[in-house]
Structure 1
């Protein structure tokens, strides 16, 4: 037994106790400094966005106009131009917040202990309060406090900017004397109103680039998963295009009323805008908006995806229309293109599909090789492009593997739901398997998602999945089981999984994970219970063995009718390539130090190139076509800065990975022969599931039934009395709304002795 007195322990020879005590205290000291530094940096980031908001609050006021004009006068130069106040109050805060976010992310990686070794007990603190569901059923989906706050702030700034400016300018127009021969006053009011609409549109337009920056450090530092942030982009884009459309309509009325209709089609930049370029930009934007509407996007994803690539044309036309407005969006746009460029470099590496398995339900499980230091999380998302199916389309998939299995593999599961996914299953059909030698090339981007495994903070978890939404929970279950195997402490002790599938064959996806393959006696360490629902009531959807029981409940563990799941042949193939290419670690969400270096190099390069363009070309250009000339130089400066300056840093990053990120598989993986194997020949290490015809899970199977969520949560509240429970939902919007509503019903302050359900959505739709 170690003595408490470390000095005495040293005198009696227990010097290791002294060293251990010093090491523990030093680590605690360092972690304390890192935590304090993170809090200080987070406060600075909040201050950056406060300054950004202050700009829009002051801009409509007379005092603000004079204040910003004085700043423009003081720092105006031929090198950077005149809009100095925009750089200080609008561009610089976003850039500084981005750099600080990368510093915080790096501090988290270096100072935080391994998750699962020390669990932070959850409670209704600020972070849980912000994610509390307030409106579970709205046209915008499930809305939390942070969602409503975000919308309220944006709409308030837009309303203030437009309303205050319009009031002052319209009032000034009405009080002024009309000059003979001048346009009618109401048309002048239309012009002022139209300009203010365009100015207000710059608020959401400058932000909508951030949610679609997949590796955005701003999203990662506030722990907002990319898949959840996509809908912020949708909201911002809808507000932006609505304001731009109103801006164009009011200006059109002005031109028609003053008999200047032909001016709409003029390419001349008078007095400060190229009108026809603006209308062309609006047409492109509205086309992107219409094809992105849910009912069109889900039915015609190819159309949505291809049309949405016109965002490049939209931005170019926007710059042609009013190049001075580009200053408001320059930093978000550059950050987006830096992210896009890193993704392009990562995806240029061809990745061999290590293994592929066709499941009885028609879904395909794909496995890719990863480098030893490749980091991803159970709720991570990767984007995959398969040239053999389409050379243009990228699709996101949740990972279904855990890096703690130490196999250096990443797996995803693809279910045939559209033309692209059906193309994958067609490749693995029985007929084509014999004709096509298996050596697939793929491109991968990512991973993206929450850097912290928040579900480990809960002692009890409730996982609710619908359809293919089961895939992220396979990774969560694997991660928890492997952590138990590694001896981690403070892990979730009770997990309840509700899985709603249409047909019994869909349960084959769940059965790809057998917990006994990880821990043979897992039920003695963690309590996992599965409640599976086959919701179809059509007898034709059930195998012959169940036709007499289209509805009812059976026990998963003792039920011996699982042979129907394997009634169809299941194939597994392995690549025949002698050297297997792995996924690249060069990712926008990769090393924070390298990403920060790319950002700084690109920004410095842009400032230098843009300054030289101002001095050499722009200040000497004529007035009529200045927008086009200046816009082309702006775009050229941005592209060269990202590709040349940022590309040089990426080259150094790639070289640094060459030693630690081998492109070839280990010798144990070489020499795989192309083959297809029937499911009957594939056996688990510890047992033969196909012979036993039993599910590897404990729980029950409900045939032809749907869960009654009110009853389910009432029973859970009684069973888990007084606990904080993490509820993770992955599935369609209707499922998320139902579950969110029940979580809201059972929401209660901590300390009341009632069960508190913390809602977390891990679903995403594009």
Structure 2
């Protein structure tokens, strides 16, 4: 406990120091007093003018990421060694800050803590803009070059320039929320999936400030008749053309990233968003190496994460079976090694080259790591062109193998839902998927541990009665028979577009189709990308690749760049210098990551041996048929218990406020998954009512 707390305290202090540097960065004392003194400390023959930013703005974040890896390794080791004991209601520290405060249109559900950090972030950007502008006005050392221009023209140019400076701080943060194998996000209880909205927020600031900066300069050049400056690619200072190219890519990403395009035309959003690499590169060329060092940590860690994802996706995952429900929902089950461990609400990214060689789609993991140690399942329902094509592929009678690659699973480092006295899970349609793994985990805990588990109220809304068959997924297809007698489970199902149970032939309409695939030598089980001790391996990769980068950067600077930059009285080409830094960063990451990945892959291959079940079970009647008036026999006791726990309501929607206010337990965790409007309605109820026992657990289950 002491070591974990100490690591978090040290990380917090380093982060605060890093933020102090960001605050003083635009100040007059930093530019005109500290930098001259620090420049004498950092030998320019070794690291160059980028050394100050490298030390004060890059090194602290890399150190935090290393400490985060150590923290997560020790935490996992501690949790695995502890036995569960009888739990009791716990105090929720800072619970009031985590309650939904407002539901604000494009911002979505915003807690008090998120609103505080949002205001602080905007204030920091405004501080940078305001103080950079103040310093430029107080020290107009470049204004003499434009003495022939009117004062308002010079000030207009200065404002446009300082907007670019303010944009740089947003660039420094924009990559962190989308690093999937991140050791920094779990330190504050976040995952890359739940942090997507922060990426969107920061991205909006990047786009707005960059657009104002670029448009301002274009207007300024038009006013002073210097439009030729748009084509300037200087070798000795900022490249205007590189900045404009980056701006064009950013605009393309921006206009296709709004909610409508993401949901209705995902392919357009996905492909245009891949321009981020070019946009970032040309932006780095535009600002030069010294300023690039301010945003390097996010770029470095994201590049490392992206390469590790690439390594994992090179092998094809072994598909064990698919289970097609009468409602058209499909459960895909993959083989995995026991070294792949994940928590509930984790997600897996799937690529099927036969459908699209470039597209990756996220799916919530529905299986439970404890109940199914050698299986990993995901569930989807057709909604777009990609999932429709996948559904047709899986239902094809001629399919005997599906070539698929995966990335992940990624998820929270730990879960806290078991700490509640009761859980209210509210879902709409296929939004029930994340709750499948939660309920399976509670079933497992109730059957194997002595600790008390929370009571569960599952409120699910479906459009049609046949969708009730999705409740079948609450129990795994094959595992040790689950005993539901040890948990208090209540399911309230609402059919919104039908007034009464439909009449149908249960023999024909309510059959669960299960297809099993024989093992193929071209496929392999899903394995942990960095082995059993993945956090320690990631710690080694981050530290070693960054140290190698610094060594290579020092050698190139001392023996190649500095002799030209200073020895020949010439300024080293800005673009080539950025190319050097980019190349050295990539080569360091690729070299170290590849070595560790190959060593771990060989070790896993020697340790793990999978035994595959290739029997083909006979299709069975869906328990969902009982819930909507069908016939058939249910010989399985768990399925009988599931039916008895379910109450179906036709022709209406759940009264969320009434349901939540009727929860009288002292500690109630509330989760919502499904359509955006449903999640916002649940958040509004939890934030507006005066009940203090309702704790809204915000988990982002979709983009």
Per the normalisation by structure 2, the TM-score is 0.91
**Residue 531 (1) aligns with residue 492 (2):** yes
Which of 269, 286, 310 is the aligned partner of 1:321? 286
Q: Which residue of 2 aligns with 1:560?
A: none
2:51 maps to: 84
Rg (Cα) greater in structure: 1
In the superposition, relative to structure 1, how do residues 705 and 181 fare at CA in structure 2: closer, same or farther (>3 Å)?
closer
Corresponding residue to 1:400 among 366, 377, 380 = 366
CA gap of 1:211–1:566, structure 2 versus 1, over 3 A, is farther
Q: Equivalent residues in 2 for 1:152-551 (5 A)?
A: 152-170=119-137, 173=140, 182-269=148-235, 272-324=237-289, 325-429=291-395, 432-433=396-397, 436-492=398-454, 494-514=455-475, 522=483, 524-537=485-498, 543-544=502-503
Which SS does the other structure have where 2:175 is aligned?
coil
Change (3 A) 1:385 1:397: same
Give me the whole-angstrom Cα distance separating, in 2, the residues matched to 1:86 and 1:697: 64
Following superposition, the deviation at residue 617 of structure 1 comes to 3.1
Could you say if the C-alpha distance between residues 54 and 682 of structure 1 is closer, same or farther in structure 2, counting changes exceeding 3 Å? closer
State the partner residue of 1:15.
Answer: none
565 and 636 in structure 1: CA distance in 2 versus 1, 3 angstrom threshold: farther
Q: Equivalents in 2 of 1:512, 1:763: separation in Å?
A: 21
Classify the secondary structure of the residue corresponding to 1:396: strand
- What is the aligned partner in structure 2 of residue 61 from structure 1? 27
Question: Residue 705 in 1 paired to residue 657 in 2?
Answer: no
**Number of residues of Structure 1 aligned to a counterpart in Structure 2:** 686
2:147 aligned with 1:141, yes or no?
no
| 92, 96, 100: which one aligns with 1:124 | 92
Q: Is the counterpart of residue 659 in structure 1 residue 606 in structure 2?
A: yes
Q: CA shift at 1:496, angstroms?
A: 0.5
Deviations 1:161-184 (A, max 9, x none): 1112213423555x9997895332
Query: Within 2, Cα distance between the matches of 1:683 and 1:170?
Result: 72
On the 8 A contact 1:359/1:570 being kept in 2, the answer is yes
- SS in structure 1 at match of 2:315: coil
CA distance in 1, matches of 2:580, 2:135: 36
Task: Verify the 8 A CA contact 1:72 1:85 in the aligned structure 2.
Answer: yes
Partner residue in 2 for 1:3: none
Q: Structure 1 CA distance, aligned partners of 2:143 and 2:494?
A: 75
The 1:500–1:187 alpha-carbon spacing in structure 2 relative to 1, beyond 3 Å, is: same
Matched, 1:735 2:678: yes
CA contact (8 A) 1:618 1:629 kept: no
Show CA shifts across 1:147-194 (max 9, x none).
Answer: 112212211111111112213423555x99978953322222223222
Contact map agreement 2:163 2:210 (CA 8 A) in 1: yes
Unaligned runs of 5+ in 2: none
Equivalent residues in 2 for 1:571-582 (5 A)?
571-577=513-519, 581-582=524-525
**Does the CA-based 8 Å contact 1:373-1:660 persist in structure 2?**
no
Q: Report the equivalent of 2:699.
A: 762
Contact kept, 8 Å, 1:725 with 1:756, in 2: the verdict is: yes
Quote the offset at 1:604 in angstroms. Answer: 1.3
Q: Return the alpha-carbon distance in structure 2 between the equivalents of residues 689 and 586 of structure 1.
A: 46
The Cα of 1:454 is off from its aligned counterpart by 0.7
State the Cα deviation string for residues 592-623 of structure 1 (Å, max 9, x = none). Answer: 11011111121112112222222233335576
Q: Deviations over 1:318-349 (max 9, x none)?
A: 12212232111112111111111111111112
Cα distance in 2 between the residues matched to 1:321 and 1:293: 27
Given the superposition, is the C-alpha separation of residues 60 and 616 from structure 1 closer, same or farther in structure 2, using an over 3 Å criterion? same
CA distance in 2, matches of 1:319, 1:628: 9
| Residue 545 (structure 2) pairs with residue 602 (structure 1) | yes
Return the offset for 1:253.
Answer: 2.5
Indicate the residue corresponding to 2:14 in structure 1: 48
* 8 A Cα contact 2:512 2:622, kept in partner: no
In 1: Cα distance, 2:594 partner to 2:247 partner: 33
Are the equivalent residues in 1 in contact too, given 2:393–2:399 (CA < 8 A)?
no
1:73, 1:82 within 8 Å by CA — same for their partners in 2?
no
Residue 744 (structure 1) aligns with: 687
Moved more, 731-740 or 84-93: 84-93
Q: Quote the RMSD (CA, aligned, Å).
A: 2.9
Q: Tell me: CA distance 1:577–1:652, structure 2 relative to 1, closer, same or farther (3 Å).
A: closer
What's the CA shift for 1:231? 0.8
- Aligned partner of 1:724 among 658, 667, 672: 667
Tell me if the contact between 1:343 and 1:587 (Cα under 8 Å) persists in the aligned partners: no
| Conserved? CA contact 2:337–2:608, under 8 Å | yes
Partners in 2 of 1:515 and 1:462 — Cα distance?
21
Distance in 1, matches of 2:667 and 2:281, equals 50
Q: CA 1:682/1:119 → structure 2, altered by over 3 Å: closer, same or farther?
A: closer
CA distance 1:763–1:468, change in 2 (3 Å): farther
* Residue in 2 that maps onto 1:631: 578
Asked if structure 2 preserves the Cα contact closer than 8 Å seen for 1:121 and 1:458, the reply is yes
CA-to-aligned-CA distance 1:661-707 (integer Å, 9 cap, x gap): 44xx31x53xx37x6954459999xxx99425976351311112101
CA distance in 2 between partners of 1:159 and 1:598 (Å): 36
